[in-house]
Amino acid sequence: MPLDHYLTLGRSGLRVSPFALGAMTFGEDAGGAGASVEESENILAAYLDHGGNFIDTANFYTNGHSEKILGDFFASHPGRRDRVVLASKFFTNMFPGDPNGGGAGRRSILAQLDETLRRLRTDYLDLYWLHNWDRHTPIEETMRTLDDVVRAGKVRYLGFSNIPAWVTAQAQTMALLKGWTPLIALQVEYSLLARHVEAEIGPLARDEGMALVPWSPLRNGFLSGKYRRGTQVVDSARAAFVGGPSEDEFVVIDAVAAVAAEVGTTSAAVALAWLRAREGTVVPILGARRLEHLHANLAGLDVTLTPQQLHRLDEVSAPALSTAIDADLRAALQFAGTTVDGRPSGVYPPLAGATRY
């Protein structure tokens, strides 16, 4: 499956590649962990040459240098900007000492958007994400302002990133009832080592027709295949901050490696193929600091896991979700031993054969 076999992003008319290219590592302004301008442009050009069209960044990535690298690239390659879906995010304050320099208030959104458009050297964004929840701003102010920038032609579509499910539901309901621009996608951390979104965010996205766009689909490299028991990984920005995987994470890492050996591919390709097989529209974001990282990750497009392999990975990585009640118990309470929508239910034990009064 090549990058030019496009997917419709949520309930919209926007078509995107099955993998997005994340530009968080474009530029060396954040502690030297990113890619040089030359390498960033090589990665971007390779992604586009493979048919990719979905590029994701944020206002504060490498202190704004990520956006500038993208803007300079497209300015020097006329005609390419209009063929890509260019996404960026707002929220992070780039101006220490200014309480209105970030967040999701009207003044902040408008100022951040103008700065992003200036760095990207474009007059519109295809997709604009709220990067984090602003607890100090009414969500109706945020959604109304975002609708205004869409109507002004500066933004085409909207999404949320890292926002609680209840806030997202409130915002989406408000937008639909008031005739404002709705959300079409949610950017979330999601991988075999981070499945907490399956408790509430995932079901919400499916119910509302919103796509999931996972960041860190390889858990910052833990699922790339380079982490092995008893070995030390030195070429990892993640390890420099938090160390290596835990014992529980290694159990999943080992299972991914075993499936990769069966398929004859890499652990990274298996982890990405697992995400692509999840229910609904799921478009992982690929991060790359070097060109070879991109090529290695693109192998995930060529892997189709069997139902048995998917089940094994599901089982070994099963999260302890904080749902209100277990799904099987809920089905037993509701359907009392009948089969509904193809799924049989049990009977709540205290009710089996109980006398009715």
Query: What is the distance between the alpha carbons of residues 217 and 224, in angstroms, rounded to a whole number?
Result: 10
Residues 6+ apart with CB under 8 A from 322: 199
Q: What is the DSSP string of 230-259?
A: T----S-HHHHHH-S--HHHHHHHHHHHHH
Residues 6+ apart with CB under 8 A from 253: 222, 223, 227, 228, 245, 267
What DSSP state is assigned to residue 349? Answer: G
Amino acid at 342: G
Structure tokens, 2: 């090549």
C-beta of residue 129 within 8 angstroms of C-beta of residue 159: yes
Cα angle 39, 92, 11 (rounded to 5 degrees) comes to 80
Query: Is 24:285 a contact under the CB 8 Å cutoff?
Result: no
Catalytic residue among 47, 61, 128, 190: 61
CA torsion 75→81→86→90, rounded to 10°?
Answer: 30
Strand 339-340 vs strand 343-344: parallel, antiparallel, or unpaired?
Answer: antiparallel
Do 219 and 191 contact (CB within 8 A), yes or no? yes
Which of 104, 98, 91 lies closest to 61 in space, CA to CA?
91
DSSP string, 186-199: EEEE-BTTB-GGGT
**124 an active-site residue?**
no
CA angle 290, 92, 8 (to 5 degrees): 65
* Catalytic machinery residues: 61
